[in-house]
Amino acid sequence: MKRIGFIGAGSMTEAMIKGLVKKGSVEPGQIAATNHSNSARLEKLEKTYGIRGESDTAKIIDFSDTVVLAMKPKDAANGIAGIRPYLKEGQLLISILAGIPIHTIQHYAGQELPIVRAMPNTSASIQKSATAFAVSPLVSKEQIREAADLFAAIGSVTIVEEAALDAVTAIAGSGPAFVYRFVEAMEAAARELDLDEQTAKKLIIDMMTGAAKMLETGRDPSLMRRDITSPGGTTEAGIQILDELQFEETVISCVKEAAHRSAEIREQFAVKI
């Protein structure tokens, strides 16, 4: 993999750097990062991972074959405009900016460049992100491979059409929060049943891990659910309550609303062109 420069040095940047260094995809000296003003943050990344921290954005762009846009979305317009004079023809831009479409990034960049728009999630911090990305027409096959290698360092990778990224954001991006909310409810139920906190937490984690592994077998989840649900048994009693409270409809509405909000954010950025 070629040299990579991160514009922005937050938690997702650190997760990607950690994954790249751990996997050995690139040497630490091939990675550079900058941020707006937090020099202590750059020093921490330098000391922890052996990368190059740089306060001069122009030097980052000159150093990099691939530039990862990892600033806060609200700073995107000024951030991309700030690097615009230094961008080079054919330089790959990878955006992990939630909600900002490719054509808007292209506008801010001020020239036709190959652009990858990606949606990783917070599980990147343990190299378990489910990342999907879309590409602009100028992205070459080699650059697609480079982007895939980059995100493979933090988990699984799926290539999609850009139109699918609102759904991806809702399912893979926001999805972990929905799972955590479910776990919070399970923990609350355990408390009401007088199960001690540590025992409940371990049982819930082990249960979720085991269920995820079962899903990896490829079996239909409805079939696996029915395997557990004996007539007149405890599971059936619980499932009946979920059905009465419209659990499936609630989850569907939850995911659709998250996707709708992603589309709203995308439109907010798009109208600024």
Annotated binding site for NADP(+): 7-12, 70-73
Residue type for position 168: V
Q: At CA 26, angle to CA 20 and CA 31, rounded to 5?
A: 80
Burial of 20 (0-12, 13-18, 19+ CB in 10 A): buried
Q: Which residues are annotated as a binding site?
A: 7-12, 70-73
Please say whether the beta carbons of 117 and 102 come within 8 A: yes
Please say whether the beta carbons of 5 and 66 come within 8 A: yes
Distances (CA, A) of 32 to 26, 36, 98, 139: 11, 14, 22, 22
CA-based nearest residue to 16, from 138, 110, 129: 129
Please, which residues have CB within 8 angstroms of residue 250's CB and are 6 or more apart in sequence? none
